[in-house]
Amino acid sequence: MTITQQKFSRFGLSTSAAAVALAMVFGSSAANAQSAPAEEGADDVIVVTGSRIARPNLESNSPIQVVTGEETVKNADITLDTFLNTLPQVNPAGTTTSNNPGNNGQSNINLRGLGSNRNLILINGRRPMVSGTDQTVDLNTIPQGLIERIDVTTGGAGAAYGADAIAGVVNIITKDNFSGIDLRAQYSNSIPKTDAREYQFAGTLGGNFDEGKGNLAVSFEYSKRQGLIKAQRGFASQATSTTGTFPTGKYTSVSGNPIPQAAINALFASYGTPAKDIPTEGLLGFNSDGSLFGQGTFNNPRDVANFRYGLDSPANPNLNFFPDFYSYNFDIVNILVLPLKRKSAFLQGHYEVSPAFDFFIQGGYTDYSSATALAPTPLGTTIRGVGQNSPLQASSPLILSGQFTGLVVPTTNPFISANLRTLLNARTGDDPRLAGAGGTEAFPISYRFLGTGLRQQTFRNRVAQGLAGLRGEFAPGWRYEAYYSWGETNIDQTAAGNVNVQKVQQLLEAADGGASLCAGGFNPFGIQPLSAECVSFVDEVGNTETKFTQKIAQAYVSGELAELPGGTMSVVLGAEQRKFRYAFDPGSLFGPIAGFNTSTPDLGTNKFTDFFGELLVPIAKDQSWADTLELSLTARHSTSDFNDIQNNVNGAPAKDWAYGGTLTWAPVREVRFRASYQHSVRAPNFGELFSGGGGFPQIFDPCSINSNFRTTRGAAATTICQNAGAAGGLAGLTSTFVATPGAQAFITTTGNPNLKPESSDAFTIGAVFNALGITGSIDYYNIKVKDVIAAPDVNDIIAACYGYNSINPNLTVGSPYCNAVFRSGGNIAAVFLPPELGGDPATGYFQQINQGTIKTSGVDVQLGYRLPTPFVTAESSLNLNLMLNYLIDYTVVGIGNIKNKYAGTASYFGAGLGTSFPKWKATGNIAWNLNPITLSTRIRYIDSMKNRAAVQFPGETFSGPKSVVYFDFAAEATVENVTLRLGLNNAFDKQPPTYAPNVQSGTDPSLYDVIGRRAYVSARLKF
């Protein structure tokens, strides 16, 4: 008897492979596919995803989506994520369009929107090499040539496969006993722009030897994707969000020593500025000729004033808003589609010495490069007084207390123009945080460094993995498998365009403006030339190295315990140990660096020791009330242990149970009901334990005078906006402040060695049916994750301060949520959490903790129908498939028990990748097989959504994306050994819906097609 993973079987139904690809959610595991080929022996057994018990067919009890390997390349997708993201159960997250926020050029999958770190990628039921501190697998490292099928199990599988399988499993099944040669070439490009080229060459060869006892197969691939910048697409060329950090430089107001409005009025009157456009002190920018300009105010009669730059100048005004107000258009140079160059090889083989000893091997190597690019660096690094700063903050003798974001300039700086000095000298107050008083007091400015160029990251990822094992039947009805795998990932990253803020402060504080430190010094007032010597003085190029090592040993036995009235009771018992090692070398990129986040060295290990078991109990069979009734039980005990070598922290071991059960009942052969419960655990990963990072999520500021909050909450709203905040409120700006759209605020999180595992409970109930030629399934799922490891949502904290939820209904100025909000120049610039909310008392950084819950529920539906069309040709048929997901609920309870319901909402920048949740998603396929020609259509639907911000700030107005329908067409012809395929993806060139605030590029580029119409051609030769 042999064990295979190739056959498809489903209630005895036979359909074409094209129908299988999308009609297979039916069965649960691979249980919904086709009947076995006639040449397969009746004794062959199959191990399906979600279980290690060998069965006589691909029937299983957990909801599963099955797609064939052929489907993954039919639309010219050169990476697996591009295809998998079209499945309704998947929330596109880290993809080819993830430039900012980025994921280091990698491609991940995100089941149910629970995060790519809460599902598991497998190859033939075994873990491949990871590529991230969150222990996710990069789909770019998995070649497509040897894939037989992909099983997508949703609803939890922690008991079967261990940590990380909270949301489910993507199990990639490779071709067993492949014999022959399979060559494929494909090319695609956008039409008519021809600026998004992709191509791939792939070859697979294999054969049997020693009279079929052994088989060896190897697959090679070379793929290349052309990068695309946002200037190449009209919807993305102008940023829909804004920035308060300009390449022109901008004056930052301080409450203790303001510039008198009369002085500003007089200066701008001398420019001939209309009275309505004269700015306040928080709206002053610098022209290159020494004059000042008024930034203007969003949604206000005050427009941009005295702006002396051209529209196509390096000042690059955002034309979505100009001349209503000025904001730098940072999007035009950002990358829209990441470039990729990949070489990969995959090998597998086995040799059966006897039925009891079948030796198998598997190995792979991938080498690929990618890149991201962002606009020139805004200086957002914190500056504190000398001796008051952390290693990641700059210091200045000009600061006596507190902290500032940007730069601080002494009034002795020689580059201060006559116009600016007139305003500075008019000051009569004293801000105790800054050196000096009145006209001689130092002053803060914000600035974006054009001189150091784009913030560019280039990545080279090399992933090697190998596996060897032994399997066989050691007694009638009893089998075993044991294997050992090793893998290593090396990621080399170069980050350019960074700025050393401490060195910039040195230039500003020098009596000669820095001319003694580098040629010409540094003039921050307007867009001024910066010498190559000065660029070299402040520029920081970082080279980091990351290395992951993974070692896994697993062994299990499975067999038949007893014969029951309903069939054979079977059992699995096994053990597994997984060891991970993570090392990160940040190189010299450390300190008060603006640009890409600086990091500290990391070195740590993590180990899991698991024992698992499974029991299949057939309860009834061939009864009047039940064709079949069976119960399956799974359990896993896991001990996790970590060691933070870098910081000499030896964590305490954590012991957890994962367990589950499924019950299936088929009252008749054509209908089967199923229900399951799974309790899973996810241990904290390297990033959560050891590392951290900063970010600038997009925010909404309720204190804008045109907000619903200000217009409906009256005097209480005025009071809290005037006074609340870590460094005070709006003060004198309260009555005039208007926040510009798309503002961002800084937040930093750090690792926590005391984290405990997350846990989840998943329930599913559904039915599979086969009647009147229609095969289908419907499944309800409900997943709840507890003790969630997550950073606080900045907008939740802001909303809590200003009473949008139940946290601060009386608008108390001293609320800890208000004490977390830090304003600079009126705008919310950062969130530094007080100790009451988990912040570090010294820095305000947030140490990750177990907090809150995530709950999601919904319904999956799949229908398939095969209609013979003998009036065309004897073997022709029309195959129809529909996959649909309806999202009922996606609720997050976060810091302070703040509860938000996100089902039906579109995400924005900083909320995380894969956090748009349309209520309806569907993919339909129509294929007319005319033999040898097949005509096919794929239709994809994404429902309309409201904005995520509308949930967090009820009563405020935000836009959301409309519904979208994509049509893909293809024609394929097969003549003997050659197959030629021509197609159009997004045939009607549907542009992505734009909304604000958005993830990036005016939309959610992971969810929607940002390339447009794309034509492709592929050719395949098999023999």
- The 8-class DSSP code of residue 1003 comes to B
Q: 543: Cβ–Cβ under 8 A, 6 or more apart, which residues?
A: 492, 493, 494, 495, 587, 588, 589
pLDDT in the model for residue 60:
53
pLDDT in the model for residue 102:
59
At 612 the three-state DSSP class reads strand
pLDDT in the model for residue 141:
82
CA distances from 618 to 54, 60, 338, 560, 847 (A): 14, 13, 51, 12, 49
**What does the alpha-carbon distance between residue 997 and residue 241 come to, in Å, rounded to a whole number?**
7
For the record, the structure tokens of 192 come out as 């008519």
**What does the alpha-carbon distance between residue 926 and residue 648 come to, in Å, rounded to a whole number?**
59
- Flag whether 264 is in a domain: yes
**What does the alpha-carbon distance between residue 486 and residue 579 come to, in Å, rounded to a whole number?**
10
Closest CA to 554 of 479, 659, 483, 653: 483
- 814: how many CB neighbours lie within 10 A of its CB? 9
**What does the alpha-carbon distance between residue 502 and residue 357 come to, in Å, rounded to a whole number?**
65
pLDDT in the model for residue 42:
36
- Flag whether 428 is in a domain: yes
Is-contact 403 277, C-beta < 8 A? no
Main-chain dihedrals φ then ψ at residue 388, nearest 5 degrees: -100, -5
- Flag whether 572 is in a domain: no
Beta strands in 869-929 (DSSP E): 877-893, 899-901, 905-906, 920-929
**What does the alpha-carbon distance between residue 857 and residue 784 come to, in Å, rounded to a whole number?**
9
Burial class (CB in 10 A: 0-12, 13-18, 19+), 391: exposed
Mean pLDDT estimate for the chain: 88
At 418 the three-state DSSP class reads helix
- 657: how many CB neighbours lie within 10 A of its CB? 14
- Flag whether 278 is in a domain: yes
Main-chain dihedrals φ then ψ at residue 986, nearest 5 degrees: 50, 60
**What does the alpha-carbon distance between residue 757 and residue 885 come to, in Å, rounded to a whole number?**
29
**What does the alpha-carbon distance between residue 537 and residue 498 come to, in Å, rounded to a whole number?**
11
**What does the alpha-carbon distance between residue 163 and residue 757 come to, in Å, rounded to a whole number?**
9
- Flag whether 392 is in a domain: yes
Closest CA to 346 of 464, 458, 211, 235: 464
- 1017: how many CB neighbours lie within 10 A of its CB? 15
Give the residue ranges of DSSP H helices in 484-573: 501-509, 532-538
Of the candidates 483, 513, 529, which is a domain's last residue?
Answer: 529
**What does the alpha-carbon distance between residue 459 and residue 140 come to, in Å, rounded to a whole number?**
13
State the total domains in the chain. 2
C-alpha of 3 from chain center:
37
* Backbone CA torsion sign across 105, 108, 112, 115: negative
User: The tokens 């191990």 sit on which residue?
Assistant: 47
For the record, the structure tokens of 943 come out as 């429902």
Helix axes 418-425, 261-270, angle to 10 degrees: 160
pLDDT in the model for residue 50:
60
Structural domain containing residue 431: 244-329+378-448+499-529
**What does the alpha-carbon distance between residue 68 and residue 136 come to, in Å, rounded to a whole number?**
23
Of the candidates 529, 544, 570, which is a domain's last residue?
Answer: 529
pLDDT digits (tens, 9 = 90+) for 44-65: 444 555 666 654 434 556 677 7
- Flag whether 185 is in a domain: no
Strand 45-47 versus strand 747-750 pairing type: unpaired
For the record, the structure tokens of 305 come out as 């004033």
* Backbone CA torsion sign across 239, 240, 241, 243: positive
AA identity, residue 969: F
Supply angle C-alpha 236, 942, 892, rounded to 5: 90
- 718: how many CB neighbours lie within 10 A of its CB? 18
DSSP letter string, 92-104: --S-TT-BTTB-T
Query: What is the edge-to-edge ordering of all strands in the sheet holding 403-405?
Result: 394-396, 382-385, 403-405
Local mean pLDDT, 10-residue blocks, the chain (1023 residues)? 33 31 33 31 46 53 78 90 90 76 74 89 91 83 86 75 80 91 96 94 95 94 92 90 90 92 98 96 95 90 96 94 93 89 94 96 94 89 92 94 94 98 97 96 96 91 96 95 96 93 97 97 97 96 92 96 93 95 85 80 89 94 94 92 85 88 93 92 82 81 93 94 90 82 83 87 92 89 93 92 92 94 86 87 83 94 92 90 95 92 94 92 95 95 97 95 98 95 97 92 92 96 93
- Flag whether 924 is in a domain: yes
- 868: how many CB neighbours lie within 10 A of its CB? 12
Supply angle C-alpha 247, 251, 257, rounded to 5: 165
Strand 119-123 versus strand 168-174 pairing type: parallel
- 869: how many CB neighbours lie within 10 A of its CB? 14
Of the candidates 484, 507, 529, which is a domain's last residue?
Answer: 529
pLDDT digits (tens, 9 = 90+) for 570-589: 999 999 999 999 998 888 77
AA identity, residue 191: I
Is-contact 395 388, C-beta < 8 A? yes
Query: What is the edge-to-edge ordering of all strands in the sheet holding 284-286?
Result: 292-294, 284-286, 250-251, 443-446, 407-409
- The 8-class DSSP code of residue 671 comes to E
- Flag whether 382 is in a domain: yes
CA distances from 416 to 152, 261, 282 (A): 63, 20, 18
pLDDT in the model for residue 242:
82
Supply angle C-alpha 874, 875, 881, rounded to 5: 135
